[in-house]
Amino acid sequence: MQQLVPPPGVKGIDKMVHYEVVQYLMDCCGITYNQAVQALRSNDWDLWQAEVAIRSNKM
């Protein structure tokens, strides 16, 4: 299993939230950690926009 590492400077509760958001995208969209992080970065770290972008690219 791949180690999930949040961006530098993310600590405490934010670290847990980052992990959960990335894990959600990985699970719901069947993508890798790197793909999930890239989708979030490309969508200003907005989970829902990232999910829509991933789903529209897969169709």
Q: Which residues contact 12 (CB under 8 A, 6 or more apart)?
A: none
| 19 within some domain | yes
Counted domains in the chain: 1
Whether the pTM exceeds 0.75: the reply is no
Supply 37's token pair: 């992080």
**CA–CA distance, 38 with 59 (Å, rounded to integer):** 18
Range of the domain at 21: 12-58
| 28 within some domain | yes
> Which tens digit of pLDDT belongs to each residue from 8-31?
665 666 666 778 889 999 999 999
**Of residues 57 and 14, more confidently modeled:** 57
| 54 within some domain | yes
Distances (CA, A) of 36 to 21, 39, 59: 9, 5, 17
| 5 within some domain | no
| 42 within some domain | yes
| 27 within some domain | yes
Nearest to 22 by CA among 1, 39, 43: 39
